[in-house]
Every structure is written in C-alpha cells, then in structure tokens.
Amino acid sequence: MDDIERIKKAKKEWEEKILKPHIEKHPERMERFSTISDHEIKEIYTPEDIADLDYMRDLGFPGEYPFTRGIYPNMYRGRLWTMRQFAGFGTAVETNQRYHYLLQQGQTGLSVAFDMPTIMGVDSDDPRATGEVGKCGVAIDTLADMETLFKGIPLDKVTTSMTINAPAAILWAMYIVVAEKQGVPSNKIGGTIQNDILKEYIAQKSWIYPPEPSMRIIRDIVAYASEHVPRWNTISISGYHIREAGSTAVQELAFTIMDGISYVDYFTREGLDVDSFAPRLSFFFDAHMDFFEEIAKFRAARRMWAKIMKERFKAKNPASWLMRFHTQTAGCSLTAQQPYNNIIRTAIEALSAVLGGTQSLHTNSMDETYALPTEEAVTIALRTQQIIAYESGIPNTIDPLGGSYFIEKLTNEMEEKAWEYINKIEEMGGMLRAIELGYPQKEIQDAAYHYQLQVEKGEKIIVGVNKYVIDEDVPIPILKIPDDLEKKQKERLAKVKRDRNNAKVKEALKLLREAAEDYSENLMPYIINAVREYATEGEIINTLKEAFGEYRDPAYF
C-alpha cells in the first residue's frame, strides 16, 4: 500500500511538473485517445491502476483456474495453434481441390465455407438461389456433394470446422454419413459446427426458424454428440459476427458470453448434465485492429467463462471451465483501397490473437473486400501465421503481456463493462427476451453508426480510406467464380434426384416431420436417415419449416 501511495504521489508530481509543461509546448495529437471501440485510454498506466489485482485470484497460472493466462499449462511451447483457413467456393469439386492444396501447404485443419443458399437452407435449383450458387462458399445440396467435398481426405486424420448454423444438423449429418462410408466410425471424427443460432438473431441474420425450435435442434445436436460423436465441438459460440456487424469489443465479449450462458442454462434445464456437454462448447472471436484492446478481450473472456461455469453452473469437470476459442482476423477492418495494406492489418490482428492465447486462427486474405480469395492471397495469409509461429519468437513464452499495467487494467475494464451488459440482459429476462426487444441489435447498430461517423469526421483514421488516399486501379487479381458453376451444380442435383429412391426419401421426410412435432424426440437420427437417402438440404429444411414456422427480420433501428 505504501508503495502505491508513493507512486500515486510521484505520478501527480510528474503530471504537474513534467507532463503538463511538455504538452503545452508539444500538444498531443488528439484531444481524447480511445480504442477503436471508443474506450478511453490514458497516457500511461502504473501499479496504481492494478492496485487491487490479486495474482492468484485474478490471473493464476496457465492451465489453472481462472485461466486468464491461458487454458493449457505450456500453451504454444507444446503445440502451436491450429492454422485453419476457411475455404469453399463453386461446387464440391473445386473446393475439394483447394482443400488438397491447403493440406499440402501445411494447413492443419479444414474449415468449410458454404454458399448463401446452403447457409439459408435453399437448394441450388430454387429460384431464390439464382446468382448465389457457389459464390460465397461451396454449394452443398445433398450427401453426394459432401462425398465429393471430402474425396481423398481421410476424416479420421483431419478435423473439420463447418461454418453453418440454422441448417447445422443437416450438414453435420452428411459429414457423419460420409465418414461412415469411408469406414470411420462417428466416435473417431473430430471438428466443429458453428451451430450458434443466438448470434444469428443478434447479428449475422442467417436464421430460418423462430428461436424456440432452433434451440431445440441445438439441444438435439448436443445430446446426440455427447453420446455418439464425443470428439465434436457442438457449438462455436460466436462473437465474430457480432463484431463484424459493428459492435464494440465489450459488446462482442458480453453478448457472446451471454449467449453461452443462455445455451448452458437451456441445456441444463432440458435435463442434460453440464459436464456432459460443456467441454465440447467452444468460442469464436474477432481479432480487430486495436491491438491491446483485443488481447485484453481474449484474456477477460477466458476468466469470465471459467467463473461462470464453475460458480454459476457448478461444473465439476475442469474441462468444462475452459474457454477454447477460434479467432478470425477482422474482415471489416480490411479495405478495398490499397489492398496490399490488408496484409499488414491481418498480421497485427493475428498477433493479438496469438498473444491472447487462441486455439486456432484464420487469417483473412488481402483481397477479401472484393471476392473470395485467390490461391496466392490465401497463401500469404497462411504464411503470416507461420511467420508469427516460427520466426517471431512470440509463442516461446506464455502470456508475455501478463502483468503489464495497461493490459491488466484493460482486461479488468473489459470484464467490468461486459458484466454490466450481462446483468442488464439478465434483468430483461435473458438473451431470447433481449433479442425480442431488439436490445443487442440496437446496441450494435448504434456502435456501428457511431464508428462510421468517427471515421467520416476523421476522428478515426483508416489508412488509404480517409488518409493517405491515392488514385489507383485495383492492383491485385480477383477470383472470378464462373457463372456456369450454377448450371453445373443444378445438373449435379438433378442427377442425384433422378438416381435416388424417391419413395424412401418421402418416407424419411415423413418420419422426420412426425418427430418434429414431438418436442421430446431427438431429431438427429431422423435427419441422418433422410440425408442417407439423399434427401436434399432444402427438402429437409422445408419439412421442418412446416412444423416450426419461419422467423422474420424484426429490423430494429
């Protein structure tokens, strides 16, 4: 205490005698310094700022509660993070080739990007899919596409992440059946489905059914995995899309953790034992441009989740307390102007993810404001991670910024502000209620608008956009998805529909429809059954829509 008092006094003196006169002569660049989330930052942080920090209580050791410094005892000294580049475009044929290429380049896990029709549960031959087939990712309509997608890739050797939400059960079922056909039993496959519907209502907006039946499907997935696919991460609770929709770092943290609380709360109320599923929950965050804010966010997230799982949900298995997370660098931070600069942005963001202790990482490619990345651009993005991993020396010690006055203070501030949001949402009656009231949606929109105004006023600088602007033609090659791919995919689908046993498809869908009406029934076996008969994704979705209805955009302003 004495020490703190001494520093306090000295700081005051320094401010008066040294800092102030200096500023008078050399004014500061801005009146107010703040993070990209507009969180105010002081000129210097000292032991005074973390006077209340209790090392063992607040930080501890890596691999030990509350895991602020990392979830594994030796972190990257043992195993580096998984370098997982999200990829998919065109039909399964093209994407399968890209996967083989990425695995040859030293990528250690696969990550499937689906096209919009697949994400929305619309088949490629549906008029609503026109112009969108294979554009943002790979088009998957039936099991046949999934078989092609993983051709020559042994599913007991790689883990696969699938960015799919409302129709997650269907795509996951396809994966399980493909593995089975390769001779790999379901308890030997590993990977992740995003399967986080709450953030869809909040931010990403790729929903299909209303919240209640959507939660039920997730329950069914989680329960099925606990029994049959134990190595699968059943939900990737995602802050990424919340952030990309324009939220602040604190909002990303708070809403994501609140989503996590809502899932655990719901599953336990449905009778699942918390330790049976909690170790398979994982998280997914954004790594944005404000370096320290992001690192603080990751550290705060781990600490908060550990507390929640241990203290609130009384999980006994320490594996349930761990927040394992994937990170993707911020797509929304990339600029169309001077696209080479995006390589630098991505490198800084990736660095914050590594310093924040991520378990896996996707680095964006420089051309992604234009289109899906070219092979060359993806390679640079992957190399960025490899340079950090092997050349920078950063992974050689654990949580190297731990103990920094600034980082610890910022970590505490992130946590405090996130709790304020969480408490507020709890008071409203939980996340589903808050979503219904449009609360998180409005908070995010306000933040996005506020940031946009700051950029336009020049209070926030984006190099090449509102400063150091040059006239240029796009200097980089852009990946073009040939328009005939849509035709090809429709032909593939038509062939599957011709060759399958339509009576069996009908029967499988009928059974699924009946199961949907019975809330206590687990839908997974019925979906797997339908998928095996080559029922299309759209057919399965439409069958479930009949039972569950459709969700519509409440569009809050």
Partner 1 sequence: MPEEKVRILIAKPGLDGHDRGAKIIARALKEAGFEVIYTGLHQTPEQIVNAAIQEDVDAIGLSILSGAHNTLMPAVIKLLREKGADDIIVFGGGIIPDDDIPFLKSQGVAEIFTPGTPVSETIEWVKKHVKPRHKRK
Partner 2 sequence: MDSSLIEKILSGDDVATARALRMIDDELPEAREILKKIYPYTGKAHIIGITGAPGAGKSTLVSKLIELYRKKSLKVGVIAVDPTSPFTGGAILGDRIRMQSHSTDPEVFIRSVATRGHLGGLSKSAWEMVKVLDAMGKEKIIVETVGVGQDEVEIIGLAHTSVVVLVPGLGDDIQAIKAGILEIADIFVVNKADRPEANRLVKEIEFMLEMAGIKDKEWQPPVIKTIATKGEGIEELAVAIDNHFEYLKKSGKLKEKIRMQLEKEFENTITSLIKEKIYRKIQEKMESLISKMENGEVDPITLGEKITRELLKEEEK
Structure tokens at 20: 């102030």
554 binds partner 2 (CB under 8 A): yes
Q: Helix/strand/coil (H, E, C) string of 397-463?
A: CCCCCCCCHHHHHHHHHHHHHHHHHHHHHHHHCCHHHHHHCCHHHHHHHHHHHHHHHHHHCCCCCCE
Q: Which residues in the 177-236 window bind partner 2 by CB under 8 A?
A: 210
**CB of residue 246 to partner 1, shortest distance in Å:** 5
Nearer to partner 2, 30 or 555 (CB): 555
Cα 330–Cα 335–Cα 336 angle in degrees, nearest 5: 135
**CB of residue 272 to partner 2, shortest distance in Å:** 24
Q: Among candidates 81, 139, 89, which has minimal Cα distance to 109? A: 81
Residues 48, 56: contact at Cβ < 8 Å?
no
135 binds partner 1 (CB under 8 A): yes
Nearer to partner 1, 156 or 456 (CB): 456
517 binds partner 2 (CB under 8 A): no
Residues 380, 366: contact at Cβ < 8 Å?
yes
**CB of residue 481 to partner 1, shortest distance in Å:** 7
54 binds partner 2 (CB under 8 A): no
HSE-up of residue 324 (Cα within 13 Å, Cβ side):
19
Q: Which of 195, 205, 438, 545 binds partner 2 (CB under 8 A)?
A: 438
Q: Which part of the chain contacts partner 2 (CB under 8 A), choosing from 289-297, 417-425, 506-514, 545-553? A: 545-553
127 binds partner 2 (CB under 8 A): no
Nearer to partner 2, 354 or 516 (CB): 516
**CB of residue 422 to partner 2, shortest distance in Å:** 20
**CB of residue 437 to partner 2, shortest distance in Å:** 6
Angstrom distance (rounded) from CA 490 to CA 492: 5
Q: Which residues in the 140-199 window bind partner 1 by CB under 8 A?
A: none
- Non-local CB neighbours of 321 within 8 Å, separated by 6+ positions: 65, 66, 67, 305, 306, 309, 310, 315
**CB of residue 431 to partner 2, shortest distance in Å:** 16
Q: In residues, how long is the chain?
A: 557
Q: Which of 62, 109, 239, 246 binds partner 1 (CB under 8 A)?
A: 246
Residues in the interface with partner 2 (CB under 8 A) total 9
- Non-local CB neighbours of 289 within 8 Å, separated by 6+ positions: 36, 330, 333, 345, 348, 349
Site string for partner 1, 313-352 (x = CB under 8 A): -------------------x--xxx---------------
Q: Among candidates 318, 322, 255, which has minimal Cα distance to 286? A: 255
**With 0-12 CB in 10 A as exposed, 13-18 as middle and 19+ as buried, what is 280?**
buried
Residues 85, 378: contact at Cβ < 8 Å?
yes
Nearer to partner 1, 119 or 524 (CB): 119
Nearer to partner 1, 206 or 214 (CB): 206
The interface partner of residue 120, options being partner 2, partner 1, none and the CB cut-off 5 to 8 Å by kind, is partner 1
Structure tokens at 43: 């000129």
Distances in whole angstroms, Cα of residue 232 to Cα of each of 186, 264, 273, 420: 9, 17, 17, 33
Q: Which part of the chain contacts partner 2 (CB under 8 A), choosing from 107-115, 348-356, 388-396, 549-557? A: 549-557
Q: Which of 448, 496, 511, 547 binds partner 1 (CB under 8 A)?
A: 448
**CB of residue 520 to partner 2, shortest distance in Å:** 19
DSSP of 336-370: SSSTTHHHHHHHHHHHHHHHTT-SEEEPPPTTTTT
Residue 315 φ then ψ, to 5°: -65, 140
122 binds partner 1 (CB under 8 A): yes
Q: Which of 478, 482, 518, 549 binds partner 1 (CB under 8 A)?
A: 478
269 binds partner 2 (CB under 8 A): no
**CB of residue 337 to partner 1, shortest distance in Å:** 5
517 binds partner 1 (CB under 8 A): no
The interface partner of residue 153, options being partner 2, partner 1, none and the CB cut-off 5 to 8 Å by kind, is none
Residues of this chain that bind partner 2 (CB under 8 A): 210, 437-438, 549, 552-555, 557
